[in-house]
Each structure stands twice: as structure tokens, then as C-alpha cells.
Amino acid sequence: MSKIATLEIDGKKYEFPILVGSENEVAIDINNLRDLSGAITMDPGFKNSGSCTSKITFLDGEEGVLRYRGYSIEELSEKANFLEVSFLLIFGELPTAKQLEKFENDIRRHSLVNEEMKSIIDGFPKTAHPMGVLAALTSALTAFNPKSVNVENEKEMYEAVCKTMAKFLVIASWTYRKSVGFPLNYYDNTKGYVENFMRLMFEVPTEPYKENPVIIAALDKLFILHADHEQNCSTSTVRMVGSSHAGLFASISAGVSALWGPLHGGANQAVLEMLEEIHANGGDAEKYMAKAKDKNDPFRLMGFGHRVYKNFDPRAKIIKKAADEVLNTLGVEDPILDIAKKLEEAALVDEYFVSRKLYPNVDFYSGIIYRALGIPTDMFTVMFAIGRLPGWIAQWKEMRENKEPIGRPRQMYTGQTLRDFKPLEKR
Ligand code: CMC
């Protein structure tokens, strides 16, 4: 392949280098396009624009492939645990047994959250959405950890990673405890990370908490499946905010806000609400399919479609299987699962969905599992955020280590040209 791309504007030719990634992805490096030609490119939604090079996650949307640091998502979700995968994403290699033990212990060491954070939570009404509270609390952590991380100092960066992993899990669970009026509790340093999450959420002072290993294993798998997804909306946000050299907590707080939207992580809550509505209205999946296809109706089939996957989302395949297993093992019969399967079957043979390559995405079945595990619906996106945390940290770290410049897109101005100011009395 030629190593040069040629662009012609107004009869003048410009040449740009062609870059090829390790999986043979091709990019045209237009870094000096404006300097040379005065022109910029337009690509709203960044459908064709790369913002960085990255060694973290590879995804091939046409083939339905997802790999973290070269390892397939199928193998990782089967054989590794969430902290191993987090270490892999953040530090580049799978940990040795010793490194993993140290990582787990170092996270424990940072699990106390400043007591003054509790008064911040007290300021929120009980009805506040947990994602809004989580974004605010993550941002508030900057007040208690004001020192910015020196990314070139390995020890400092490692400590920041452990601190973020530990405190985020605790405050995520507190958003739920606040909403139900439970006393805020503490990480138990004798337990594992995912085990701790369930305790942090559901343990009450009045009776012993009984763990369910099926639930822990299912959550672990779900967290792995959500752990990274290259330059999606929230991750790009984390990298963008971090590119101004804002701190790790501030950048992650921005990522939480981006994730909240129903077109992104908020879709898992929207899917379950949609399935419940279909169920409540007699289970007529066809009616909702018709609504989704009607261009005069803003309704979209939530949990379907993806910006990058134009083939099955590999995570959805794994989650669908896990949903069946978890519901069977827990002995839960959920009519919602049947509606989901009916909708999927109908969409897979429907011309509208087939021609637009709209397949179930990661969020389509995850809510059904969360529901079976006893997680309330408005906590679903918080669950996604916990899973995505190591990805955000890894991408933030990589961006700073690569010394990427501050993110600052261009625009094409289409507003008024210069005009005279009219004094107030003449308008
Ligand atoms: N239901 C009905 N029609 C759809 C849907 C859907 N879920 N998704 C896309 N379309 C149609 C859309 O109307 C458009 O049709 P036309 O070409 O006739 O105008 C076409 O398919 C292309 O859609 P698009 O909006 O241009 O595609 P996009 O790449 O900008 O959007 C998406 C991707 C995920 C935002 C979109 O598919 C969607 O809104 N899905 C529902 C929300 C959802 O499940 N989000 C979770 C995404 S996966 C997890 C995550 O990233 O957080």
C-alpha cells in the first residue's frame, strides 16, 4: 500500500502520511493539514476521526472482535477475574500472583473514604439519581486528594490507581445506601473487591450478611465485559478532560457524567424500563418494533445498535449466555427475559434492523442479570461505571504518558458575519 495519501483542494495537491496500526488499521495523518492548506476536516460525532494511538483495546466492529491488550474478551471473561483484568488494562501485562496479591492489598489500604464525604452525601435528596451523586462525589474526592499525580513517577501513579479503584467502589455503593436510607458503611479488608461491593451495597447492621458466590462470579464477569471499549463517549471525555492536566478524580467524574446518558451507559437502565413497559402492556413486542421503525416516533429500541459494531457485539453474546446461566442457577424466572429474547429474534430478521446492522449491544441483557442479582434499576449505570473504571484510568494514564496535547477541536463557523452593535433603545 502507498504510504502517502494525496488531497486536492482548488487544484492544489497536498500529501499526507498513511499510518498503519498493529492490526492493519489505516489512518491518514492530517496533523499539518490546516498549516499547509488552511482547511480543516468536518466529522461530527467523530465517525471517521482517530483522536489518539492506543495500545490498550482493539476492537473490530465489522468482525465483532474485542481484545484487551491482545487477549480476547471471551478468554478473559472466562479465565480471569476483574482485578487481574484491571491490572492488565492499566499496567499493560497480566499480573503475576504476587503482583495481583499486592494490588488487591494496596487497594484495601486505600479503602477508607474521608468521613467528611458523608456530609456531602447528606446534602443530596434521597430521590437524586445515583449517577448524578456519583459524579459529584467523585469530583468531591479531589478536595480530599488535592495533590496532582506525577504520571512519570511510577510509585505515585500506582498509588493513585489503587486509591481511585478503592474509593470509587465505596462511594458508588454509598449512592445506593443514601437512596434507601441505610447507614454508610466501610470496605472489609478481609474480603475481595467484588465481594466487597455486594457487602457495601446490601449489608445491614442488624443481621449477618450472607454472600452468594453465584452473584459474585456473575458480577465479576459483567465488570470484565465493561472494563474498556477504546475511544467511546465517556472514555474520550476522560482523555479530553485529562488532556488539560486536570486530575484523575476530576477527569473520571466527567466520564461518569458522559456515561450517564441513555445513548451510552444509561441504556442499560433504559432497556429494563422498556422491557418492563412492554411486559406491563401485554408483552406485544411487535408494537414496540413498529414504534422503533417509525421515523415520526422518537422511540428507539434500547440496547440495539452500536456506533462501532456492525456485527454482533461480542459482549452481548457472552452476557446473553450468562443471563440464562445466572437465572437458572438462582432459580429466578423472569418474564422480561422472554420478552428480550422475542425482541431479539424479531429484530434479527427484520429488514429495518438488518439493513442498518442493528444488533443487541452489551446493555441489552446486562440489566436482566443485574435485576436477578437484586441490583435496583437506577443503579445499573453505576454498575457500568464500576466496570469501566479501570478502562478510564488506563486511558487517562496512557494519554498523559504519551504527552498528548490538550484536546481542542476546530469548528466551521456558520453564524453572522461582522455587524454593527444596536443600542438597547433601538432594538
Ligand atoms: N432503534 C431504532 N433505530 C435505530 C436504533 C435503535 N436502537 N439505533 C440506530 N437506529 C437507526 C437510526 O434511526 C438510523 O436510521 P436512518 O439511517 O434511517 O436514519 C440508523 O439506525 C443509524 O443510527 P445512528 O443513530 O446514526 O447510529 P449511531 O452510530 O450514531 O448511534 C447508538 C449508535 C448506540 C447511539 C444508537 O444505535 C442508539 O441510539 N441505540 C440505542 C441506545 C443504546 O442501546 N445505547 C447503548 C450503546 S452500547 C453501550 C455503550 O456504548 O454505552
**Each residue's pLDDT expressed in tens, for the chain with a length of 427 residues:** 679 999 999 999 999 999 999 999 999 999 999 999 999 999 999 999 999 999 999 999 999 999 999 999 999 999 999 999 999 999 999 999 999 999 999 999 999 999 999 999 999 999 999 999 999 999 999 988 877 788 889 999 999 999 999 999 999 999 999 999 999 999 999 999 999 999 999 999 999 999 899 899 999 999 999 999 999 999 999 999 999 999 999 999 999 999 999 999 999 989 999 999 999 988 888 888 999 999 999 999 999 999 899 888 999 999 988 888 888 888 988 888 889 888 988 898 999 999 999 999 988 889 889 988 889 999 999 999 999 999 999 999 999 999 999 999 999 999 999 999 999 999 9
The question of whether 363 is a catalytic residue gets the answer: yes
Nearest atom of ligand 1 to the alpha carbon of 308: 29
Q: Distance, CA 356 to ligand 1 centroid (Å)?
A: 9
Cα–Cα distance, 384 to 227 (Å, whole number): 8
Could you confirm whether 43 is annotated as catalytic?
A: no
Interhelix angle 154-180/97-109, rounded to 10 degrees, is 60
- CA 273 – ligand 1 centroid, Å: 18
- List Cβ neighbours of 414 (8 Å cut-off, separation of 6 or more): none
Pairing outcome for strands 57-60 and 65-68:
antiparallel
In this structure, the residue with its CA closest to atom 12 of ligand 1 is: 356
Q: Confirm if 274 and 332 have CB atoms less than 8 A apart.
A: no
- Looking at residue 2, what is its pLDDT? 72
Quick one: which of 125, 155, 120, 157 has its CA closest to 139? 120
Amino acid code (one letter) for 196: N
Label the pairing between strands 4-9 and 57-60: unpaired
Cell numbers for 287, please give them. Answer: 408494537
- Interval between CA 306 and ligand 1 midpoint (Å): 6
Q: Residue type for 401, please?
A: E
Q: What's the burial of 199, exposed, middle or buried (CB within 10 Å: 0-12/13-18/19+)?
A: middle
The count of other CB atoms within 10 Å of the CB of residue 172 is 25
CB 170 within 8 A of CB 143: no
Write the single-letter amino acid at 261: G
The Cα angle at residue 218 between residues 212 and 221, in degrees rounded to 5: 140
Which atom from ligand 1 is nearest to the alpha carbon of 266? 52
What pLDDT is recorded for position 152? 87
Q: How far, in Å, is the centroid of ligand 1 from the Cα of 359?
A: 10
Residue of the nearest CA to atom 31 in ligand 1? Answer: 307
Terminal Cα distance for the chain, rounded: 61
Q: Which of 169, 170, 153 is nearest to 389 (CA)?
A: 169
Q: Which residues contact 210 (CB under 8 A, 6 or more apart)?
A: none
Partnered with residue 286 across adjacent β-strands are none
Contact 362, 372 (CB under 8 A): no
Length of the chain measured in residues: 427
Q: Cβ distance 219 to 194 under 8 Å? A: yes
- pLDDT digit string, tens, across residues 94-137: 999 999 999 999 999 999 999 999 999 999 999 999 999 999 99
CA distance 276 to 140: 35
Q: Is 92 left (phi over 0), alpha (psi -120 to 50) or beta?
A: left
For CA atoms 352, 353, 358, 362, the dihedral sign is positive
Pocket (CB within 6 angstroms of ligand 1): 232, 263-265, 267, 292, 300-307, 356, 358, 361-363
Active-site choice (229, 264, 306, 350): 306
